[in-house]
Amino acid sequence: MAKDVKPEAEVAAVAPPKKSKKLLIIIIVAVVLVLILGGGAAFLVLKARSTHDGEGGEAAAETAKSGKKKGEKEVVPVYVALDAFTVNLVPENGDQFLQLMISVEVEDAHVGEKLKMYTPKLRNNVMLLLSGKKAAELMTKEGKETLANEVRDLMNGVLEPGANKGEGPVREVLFTSFIIQ
């Protein structure tokens, strides 16, 4: 009987390695799949980057628009919020008024300080401009865009007299609130 016990012990000792081989094979397959998927993802990301960097027209247009060369540090925009404007509009169908809040994007912090120094004159000129508008002109998207450009040009004229239309230290006028009643 002692002989019968030995073979059973040997069989028991041989059986567990088969299970560990299956587990080892599953782990190896999983690692290979992860490596393949990771390699594929890395390939797609690198391809997308090279395609994006290789688009000369778009990259050149962006460089020309910002006025910076590749590798230069991007300048953080400076915004100056102005107090609310409330004006009576040119009457069409009874009395109407406009309440407007704007923020102005300027070239740098120095221009922002200059804008704050000229605030009374800027507010006066903007109020005169707004009070000459009709509600129907300002209701459309095009009317609002035209108004933003007019305010920008007006501010540039005060901050930098003699500047060409569309040029100057004020880059953009942004409406943060626009109410017509």
- pLDDT tier for residue 15 given thresholds of 50, 70 and 90: low
**pTM for the whole structure:** 0.57
Mean pLDDT, residues 19-43: 83
For the domain 78-180, what is the CATH code? Answer: 3.30.479.30
**Comparing 59 with 164, which gets the higher pLDDT?**
164
Mean pLDDT lowest for which of 50-54, 126-130, 135-139? 50-54
- pLDDT tier for residue 59 given thresholds of 50, 70 and 90: very low
CA distance 6 to 139: 97
- pLDDT tier for residue 175 given thresholds of 50, 70 and 90: very high
pLDDT at 104: 92
Helices 109-117 and 141-159, axial angle in degrees (round to 10): 90
Closest CA to 87 of 123, 122, 113: 123
CA distance 120 to 158: 11
- pLDDT tier for residue 150 given thresholds of 50, 70 and 90: very high
**Domain boundary assignment for the chain:** 2-66, 78-180
- pLDDT tier for residue 25 given thresholds of 50, 70 and 90: confident
Mean pLDDT, residues 96-115: 90
Q: What DSSP line would sit under 92-130, residue for residue?
A: SSS--EEEEEEEEEESSHHHHHHHHHTHHHHHHHHHHHH
